[in-house]
Amino acid sequence: MSYSVYIVQCNDNTLYTGIAKDVNKRIDEHNNSDKGAKYTRVRRPVELVYEEKLEDRSSASKRENAIKKLTRKKKLDLIYV
């Protein structure tokens, strides 16, 4: 079962990083549901700007943590390369 690490750009131009099995469903939750992250609920709408597929949840979590440690500039470099 594959997982994805994703980055969304929020309405206030901030970036949010997460993991999901179904990224499209998760983006819909961020935009339209109480299941969206607390951070994104007040920054709607969000737009998917990056997705990276990984083999399993463990790999996805490790990659998510690595991305979260990046500076904003390095995240933007990752997105727009």
Task: List, in order, residues 6 or more apart from 21 with CB less than 8 Å away.
Answer: 1, 2, 3, 4
Q: How many domains does the chain have?
A: 1
DSSP string, 7-69: EEE-TTS-EEEEEESSHHHHHHHHHHSTTS-HHHHTS---EEEEEEEESSHHHHHHHHHHHHT
Q: In which domain, by residue range, is 9 found?
A: 3-79
Compute the distance between CA of residue 60 and CA of residue 30 in angstroms, rounded to an integer. 19
Written as tens digits, the pLDDT of the chain (81 aa) is 799 999 999 999 999 999 999 999 999 999 999 998 999 999 999 999 999 999 999 999 999 999 999 999 999 999 998
Confidence (pTM): 0.95
CATH of the domain at 71: 3.40.1440.10
